[in-house]
């Protein structure tokens, strides 16, 4: 379950980022490179942040018992 919802989207995001990164690097346009990297990291981190939220919720419930 974790593999399907978290690792696969992360790999897909990376596969989308790197082909777009190469032409920007060849043009030496650092603003586009930074934008692609920041947006890619942000999109890839969304499922991991959700997983972290779920774990925190479960931990709070466990601590209340």
Rounded Cα distance, 31 and 42, in Å: 16
Domain ranges of the chain: 2-64
pLDDT range class, residue 1, cuts 50, 70, 90: low
Enumerate the H helices of the chain as residue ranges: 2, 8-27, 30-64
CB 26, CB 14: distance < 8 Å: no
Rounded Cα distance, 8 and 23, in Å: 25
pLDDT tens-digit readout, 2-59: 566 667 777 777 777 777 777 777 777 777 777 777 877 777 778 778 888 888 888 8
Tokens of 32: 């586009």
Rounded Cα distance, 65 and 62, in Å: 6
pTM tops 0.85:
no
């Amino acid at each position: 379950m974790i593999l399907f919802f978290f690792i696969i989207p992360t790999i897909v995001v990376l596969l989308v980022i790197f082909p777009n990164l190469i032409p920007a690097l060849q043009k030496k346009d650092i603003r586009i490179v930074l934008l692609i990297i920041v947006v890619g990291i942000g999109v890839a981190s969304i499922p991991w942040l959700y997983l972290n939220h779920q774990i925190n919720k479960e931990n709070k419930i466990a601590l209340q018992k």
